[in-house]
Copies of this chain bind each other. A is one copy, B any other.
Amino acid sequence: MKKTSTAAMALRPLAMNHISVDCVVMGFDGKKLHVLLIERAVEIDGTVIHDMKLPGDLIYEDENLDEAAARVLHDLTGIKNINLLQFKAYGSKDRTKNRKDLLWLEHTTHTRVERIVTVGYLSLVRIGRSLAVQHLDDEARWVAVDELNTLPFDHNAIIDDALSVIRSQAEADPSYLFNLLPQKFTALQLRTLYERVYGKRQDVRNFQKKMNQLDYVIALDERERDVAHRAARLYRFDRKIYKRSRR
């Protein structure tokens, strides 16, 4: 904003960017946190290499960021009206420094892409309950977060950031993590989810005690079915009671 900015600008070129959105869709299968990845095929020097990346796409001229994120997820999973939280923009000039990523970009977009600023979106879904899994393209796959390889671009960092966002969202709103559980869940599932999100073991007894103190976690007169081990009691999350308790 100095008066010299016009002169400086003539020497220093402005960035012309493509903008993309990348969606971190997280699910929990009762044992591990999973992230939805899609397969990517890249031809390098005559050889086709397959790897996985976050679902994402460049945005079109006639859509805004939220619309682009919703489109990407809809195209991928068939679901609409999914709750998408924008959490961070990534604009490092090094994002596209990997030759493999550049080749893939140019192949899929048919345009020369120099720099992409991407905007990260987060969504939590119920694996197995949500439509997400039923409509999954065969290109898409759930991958355990602790078993991720090195992903294209800065996608590993984006997923790490998304995990931090889940933790701070859960801190601000303890009901947030219940979006990852089935309607009826066991104490073990809830505890395992906490262990996965916070990355540390929870003492079984202490956890059960804390859980019993939450009046919005309702013990049901129902037990698991079709399990090899002793069927555990089921619980459900009561949003009405939760909301009352937060007033």
Q: How many copies does the complex hold?
A: 2
A100 within 8 A of partner (CB)? no
Pair B15/A60 contact, Cβ less than 8 Å? yes
A140 to B2, CA, bound (A): 11
A103 within 8 A of partner (CB)? no
A76 within 8 A of partner (CB)? yes
CB distance from A109 to the nearest CB of B (A): 7
B residues in contact with A93, CB < 8 Å: 61-64
Closest residue of chain B to A77 (Cβ to Cβ) is B1
A45 within 8 A of partner (CB)? no
B residues in contact with A9, CB < 8 Å: 109-110
A175 within 8 A of partner (CB)? no
Pair B91/A119 contact, Cβ less than 8 Å? yes
A117 within 8 A of partner (CB)? yes
B residues in contact with A5, CB < 8 Å: 57, 75, 108
Q: Identify the 3 closest CB pairs spanning chains A and B, nearest first.
A: A65-B91, A89-B89, A64-B92
11 pairs across A/B with beta carbons < 8 Å? A2-B137, A13-B61, A15-B18, A15-B58, A15-B59, A16-B16, A16-B61, A19-B19, A65-B117, A168-B172, A172-B172
